[in-house]
Amino acid sequence: MEKKKLLFSAKNITKSFHGTQALKGVDLDVYEGEVIGLIGENGAGKSTLLKIIIGVQPPSSGEMFMHDSKFEPKTPLEANAAGVGMVYQEQSLITNLSVGQNIFFGHEKEFVQLGFVRWRKMYEEAQKVLEAVGSGHINPRKKVIDLNFATRQMIEIAKVVNVTKSANANGKCLILLDEPTSVLNEGEVKVLFEEIRKLKALGHSVIFVSHRLDEVLEISDRVYVYKDGANAGNMPIEEATETKMYEMMVGHESSSEYYKLDKQITPGEEVVLEVKDLGLWGRFKHCNFKLHKGEILGLCGVVGSGKEEICSVICGDEKPTYGEVILKGKPVKYSEPSQALKDGTLLIPKERMYEGIVRGLPVEDNIAMSNTKRLKKNGLVSKKAISNQAEKYIKLLNIKTRGKDELVIQLSGGNQQKVVFARALASEADILILNHPTRGVDVGAKEEIYSLIRDMVAGGKSVILLGDTLDECISMSNRVFVMKDGLITGEFSAAADAKPSQVQIVSMMV
């Protein structure tokens, strides 16, 4: 292999936030036309480093170089000008503006003539940019609010590509992607990877952060592993295996017990929930299934297959167009999730930032939220009970927090997810709908959560699981239902010793 030119390098970067050492001196080198996979447990400092590179935060110490010259961006705009662009983990599109206006947001001046922004020219340019990232089908005049998450992610990428390209036409760019695949389905991930390869072919470089090690293996040229804010090592992709990366991140081997298969139980005959000929106009049709006591029922399907909408109906967030939901033998009709909770059905949403946590409240209140009423003593809420409960779950789920009274917003994303999960446990609902319960959670924590789910069903609860990965869904469930275009297209039994293969299921999904 020919020796490649160094594009970017970070040397001994540290970052502390009033006393917390988030980065304790990490290094990162990126060569031209290279994709770097950056992995590490939650809170390892990946997002922090990216924020420093893009100029959102300054480093406490250390140096960065871009094209061999010192690189000290003070704003994302400066970073863009030097050819660095970033897709943020949380969406950064302005939903009330059109796609085109978003792509050129902050760069409208380029289209101003005689004091007027020339929208037509902007939309033509936007169309070109979209085509360049393989998303020519998106209409640049559409408002972002009307688009789904995956499409939005593509627009984000188009926006970044455009920003860096136009800023640095001749030089090479560095594009930072912080967990871009967490909201994409398999097809969209493919498109994204193709796009990344195209960029690579043009000599641009990418830093790719993901918790999905298989993706990292697929797309990266080199992998950096961080642990607790320090270098844990880096290696070319040829040397990397999932096991090895796992070891470097966590410090111990991925056990065959990962999904706790030995704890899988055979559910009883008692039906706790039945869905009979259920349909929601334009979303799913004539669906039937039964959930038994102690069962984990996996629902698979690509985005838009209708699996999430079924869950919304069951938990009372939406009303079905036809059909019925029968709970413990009684048909139920909800107009509010609160009614479903009263009957013991609870949904754990996947978008923790927007649906899962109350950011301004401390950890303990977040955990107590769905069972405050039960923590009453003589009509009064017992603060003691709330804090005891919080302490119990912080310990149980190993939530990294300064204490039960820390605001949830101050936790890392993964730990926020654990708080959401703790709340589900605390709610004592007996039917739990878990929508991507391990999204954004690091490998170690995942194991803990799997173990907890097993314990819950052993204790007589029932779970409907929309897995973060197909593997997870298959391995955890007693039965797996596959959905496609609003219909249930397949049903597999998945006993501990007779799991269906991923290939079998994928063939029914797409």
Partner 1 sequence: MGKEKLAALSITEEFASKIKADNQKERLTKWAPVFVLIALFLVFSLILGGSFASGSNLVSILNQWAIPLLVALGLTFVIMLGSIDLSIDGTVGMAGSLAAVFVLNSRNGNDMGVWGLFLAVFCSVIIGFIIGTIHVKLKIPSFMVSFAFMNICAGIGLLSYGGKPPTIKDEFIASIAKSSFLEIPIITWVALLVFVLCLYIQECTPFGRHIYAVGTDETIPKAVGINVNKVKIKVFTLAGFCFGVAGVLGAIRLGQGQVSIGADLMFPANAAVVIGGTALTGGKGGVVNTVVGTLIMTVLFNGLTMMGVNPNIKTGVQGLIILIAVALTVKRGSTIISK
Give contact residues for ligand ATP (rule: CB under 6 A).
17, 20, 22, 40, 42-48, 89, 409-414, 440
Minimum distance, C-beta of residue 439 to ligand ATP, in the bound complex (Å): 9
Residue 413 binding Mg ion, by CB under 5 A: yes
Minimum distance, C-beta of residue 92 to ligand ATP, in the bound complex (Å): 13
Distance CA 265, CA 485 (A): 31
If the CB atoms of residues 45 and 306 are measured against ligand ATP, the closer one turns out to be 45
First vs last C-alpha separation in the chain: 39
For the four alpha carbons of 193, 42, 463 and 502, in that order, the dihedral sign comes to positive
Minimum distance, C-beta of residue 417 to ligand ATP, in the bound complex (Å): 7
380 interface partner picked from partner 1, Mg ion, ligand ATP, none, CB below 5 to 8 A per type:
partner 1
Minimum distance, C-beta of residue 30 to ligand ATP, in the bound complex (Å): 17
How many other β-carbons are positioned within 10 Å of the β-carbon of residue 498?
8
Which residues 6+ apart lie within 8 Å of 308 measured at CB?
Answer: 435, 466
97 interface partner picked from Mg ion, partner 1, ligand ATP, none, CB below 5 to 8 A per type:
partner 1
349 interface partner picked from partner 1, Mg ion, ligand ATP, none, CB below 5 to 8 A per type:
partner 1
Minimum distance, C-beta of residue 326 to ligand ATP, in the bound complex (Å): 37
For the four alpha carbons of 190, 196, 198 and 200, in that order, the dihedral sign comes to negative
Minimum distance, C-beta of residue 21 to partner 1, in the bound complex (Å): 6
The closest residue (CB) to ligand ATP is: 413
Minimum distance, C-beta of residue 423 to Mg ion, in the bound complex (Å): 19
Minimum distance, C-beta of residue 451 to ligand ATP, in the bound complex (Å): 19
Minimum distance, C-beta of residue 301 to ligand ATP, in the bound complex (Å): 24
Residue 47 binding Mg ion, by CB under 5 A: yes
414 interface partner picked from partner 1, Mg ion, ligand ATP, none, CB below 5 to 8 A per type:
ligand ATP
β-pairing, 35-40 vs 222-227, is parallel
42 interface partner picked from partner 1, ligand ATP, Mg ion, none, CB below 5 to 8 A per type:
ligand ATP
Closest Cα to residue 87, out of 103, 100, 73, 72?
103
Alpha helix (H) residue ranges in 202-278: 213-219, 242-250
Which listed range, 41-49, 78-86, 129-137, 495-503, lies at the site for Mg ion (CB under 5 A)?
41-49
Which residues 6+ apart lie within 8 Å of 20 measured at CB?
Answer: none
DSSP string, 292-342: ETT-EEEEE--TTSSHHHHHHHHTTSS--SEEEEEETTEEE--SSHHHHHH
If the CB atoms of residues 401 and 477 are measured against Mg ion, the closer one turns out to be 401
Which listed range, 85-93, 236-244, 267-275, 495-503, lies at the site for Mg ion (CB under 5 A)?
85-93
If the CB atoms of residues 50 and 474 are measured against ligand ATP, the closer one turns out to be 50
If the CB atoms of residues 285 and 454 are measured against partner 1, the closer one turns out to be 285
Closest Cα to residue 432, out of 441, 419, 423?
423
DSSP string, 207-220: EEE-S-HHHHHHH-
If the CB atoms of residues 47 and 98 are measured against ligand ATP, the closer one turns out to be 47
If the CB atoms of residues 31 and 226 are measured against Mg ion, the closer one turns out to be 226
Closest Cα to residue 457, out of 423, 431, 418?
431
48 interface partner picked from ligand ATP, partner 1, Mg ion, none, CB below 5 to 8 A per type:
ligand ATP
Distance CA 257, CA 7 (A): 42
Q: At what angle do helices 119-132 and 149-167 cross, to 10 degrees?
A: 100
If the CB atoms of residues 203 and 323 are measured against partner 1, the closer one turns out to be 323
Residue 40 binding Mg ion, by CB under 5 A: no
Distance CA 296, CA 461 (A): 9
If the CB atoms of residues 42 and 478 are measured against Mg ion, the closer one turns out to be 42
Distance CA 478, CA 481 (A): 10
Residue 343 has which token pair?
A: 């009957």
If the CB atoms of residues 261 and 353 are measured against partner 1, the closer one turns out to be 353
Which residues 6+ apart lie within 8 Å of 184 measured at CB?
Answer: 150, 153, 192
Chain positions contacting Mg ion, by CB under 5 A: 46-47, 89, 413
